[in-house]
Amino acid sequence: MATSLKNLSSYDEKNIPSAAKMKFGIVVSEWNSAITDALYKGAVSTLVKHGAAEDNIVTLGVPGSFELVSGAKTLAKHSNVDAVICLGCVIQGETPHFDYVCQGVTQGIAHLNVKFNIPFIYGLLTTLNQEQAEDRAGGKHGNKGDEAAYTAIKMVDINWRFKK
């Protein structure tokens, strides 16, 4: 469903399990920090709201969105987390750089999901302009960070149910 038809911060709270025993990694891009800081705050707020202890949230800042994949891999290998949330924002410019970064991050996160036994959550905004990014980082379309945290909790729960 297109974001314009759904608020990223809306989900059925009765369908979300407790995150009290879960440990999360969040890798966040420092590029477009006004946007990524808002995504990060949304993700942490949602995790804590559903029971995650702040001590069980490991954060790693990386220079840009392209480095999300390497940062996520580092968190997965060295921090014993149950899921990694990848948060970044790429705003289209005048060159094809946007396409390469978005494609590389998308493929990289998909690859991590196959390589590791934990979920890597795609929280990358790929927008045409600053306004669209703001709309998805706590603006009129909600916060992609909230959605990414919700997704992480649900995916950890699924993993745990099938590991038994």
Residue 42 DSSP SS3: helix
- In the residue annotation, 50 being an active-site residue is answered as no
Task: For tokens 């992480």, name the residue.
Answer: 152
113 to each of 7, 48, 87, how far by Cα in Å? 26, 24, 15
> Which residue of the set 50, 78, 97, 111 is catalytic?
97
Task: Give dist(CA 161, CA 60) in Å, integer.
Answer: 28
What is the rounded distance in angstroms from the CA atom of residue 68 to the CA atom of residue 60?
9
**Mind telling me the catalytic residues?**
97
